[in-house]
Amino acid sequence: MILTTESPTNTGSTMADTILTAQELKQHYRVKQGFFKPEATVKAVDGVSFTLKKGQTLAIVGESGCGKSTLGRMLTMIETPTAGAVDFEGHDLLNLDKQKQAELRQKIQIIFQNPYGSLNPRKKIGTILEEPLVINTNMSQAERKQKALSIMAKVGLKEEHYNRYPHMFSGGQRQRIAIARGLMLDPDIIVADEPVSALDVSVQAQVLNLMMDLQDELGLSYVFISHDLSVVEHIADDVMVMYLGKVVEKGKKADIFSNPQHPYTQALLSSTPQLNADKRRTRIKLEGELPSPLNPPNGCAFHGRCIHANDRCHTETPTLQSQKNQLIACHAVEEGRL
């Protein structure tokens, strides 16, 4: 994808303070396997930690099924983590009274992947946008409408769109509506779960440029969930790569894209199309499928698809360790075999 403007990296920003910290977040599900079989545990997210800086974008990447979306739902408290902590500006969101938790949750909003399924087809756009205000504020009807029209203007929607239904809009316009809804409560953090994957490529660029403009204007922090590294390269400040519920590599975008160290990250980047011949990488083709979270392999979860795996990789789970400017969970990197 080619974006129409350069992505701001905020490297010179004075807003480099941490706004959100996740510590050892886990989400384990108990699932039934059928008659006469014991319940199994699916470790959708298994010990994920990271920090998010004010005004910056953390991109979370990986294949479908790696736990990206589950992590996003935990950050917005749609799902309560099995274990771990989420600190938002000094408040542990998991250990607050309900009133305070509800108050702080307004500051972390989510944009869902599918603009065709995330908007109620029976409600007009004005009603959809004002619903968060009805639930969470004491604003009058006139004040709510004025706020909705103001946010609509920010995302490039016209005043006459206020009384229309979702089916009357294109996919790109619907995602602008979804972004507007996410902004109605003046959040500090937006969790964007694959926000452009359902859109045409030309429309993707428009929506991404809009999100970057809003970030600059409003000082938003993004947790940007995506499997598309060509998108991530333009919008992210930091990148976190997940595989089967765990983080395998984490670092600054420039470091990850210029010097990926984990074999999985290398494979992901090698599959990303590049117009610039100098940036093209030798394609690394991964054999096999992502292992089932119902029956994960011992040791490193990636060892069955990794050409660098040895006996240690089959038995010992790697932990994140500092290697140059990145955090890597890989025995081969640790042992200097890569």
pLDDT at residue 38, as a whole number: 82
7 pLDDT tier (thresholds 50, 70, 90): very low
pLDDT at residue 39, as a whole number: 84
- Residues forming a β-bridge with 322: 327
CATH number at residue 71: 3.40.50.300
pLDDT at 289 over 90: no
> Is 314 among the domain residues?
yes
> Is 175 among the domain residues?
no
> Is 130 among the domain residues?
no
> Is 146 among the domain residues?
no
Helix segments in the chain, DSSP class H: 68-75, 98-105, 125-136, 141-154, 171-183, 201-218, 229-235, 253-258, 263-270, 311-315, 331-334
Contact 69, 234 (CB under 8 A): no
What does the pLDDT look like over 15-32, one tens digit per residue? 459 999 999 999 999 988
- 233, with CB counted inside 10 A (0-12, 13-18, 19+), is buried
200 pLDDT tier (thresholds 50, 70, 90): confident
> Is 83 among the domain residues?
yes
d(CA 112, CA 334): 37
> 153-163 in b/e burial notation, b at 16+ Cβ within 10 A?
ebbbbeeebbe
- % of the chain with per-residue pLDDT over 70: 92
Q: What is the domain range of residue 241?
A: 18-107+187-334
pLDDT at 282 over 90: no
> Is 34 among the domain residues?
yes
> Is 228 among the domain residues?
yes
270 pLDDT tier (thresholds 50, 70, 90): confident
pLDDT at residue 9, as a whole number: 41
Using the Cα atoms of residue 274, residue 276, residue 279 and residue 285 in order, give the sign of their dihedral. Answer: positive
3-class SS at 88? strand
- % of the chain with per-residue pLDDT over 90: 67
pLDDT at residue 15, as a whole number: 44
Provide DSSP, 144-194: HHHHHHHHHHHTT--GGGGG--GGGS-HHHHHHHHHHHHHTT--SEEEEES
Query: Domain count of the chain?
Result: 1
146 pLDDT tier (thresholds 50, 70, 90): very high
d(CA 29, CA 217): 39
What does the pLDDT look like over 312-327, one tens digit per residue? 999 999 999 998 889 9
pLDDT at residue 163, as a whole number: 96
pLDDT at residue 275, as a whole number: 56
Give the pTM. Answer: 0.89
pLDDT at residue 11, as a whole number: 39
- 203, with CB counted inside 10 A (0-12, 13-18, 19+), is middle
> Is 52 among the domain residues?
yes
pLDDT at 118 over 90: no
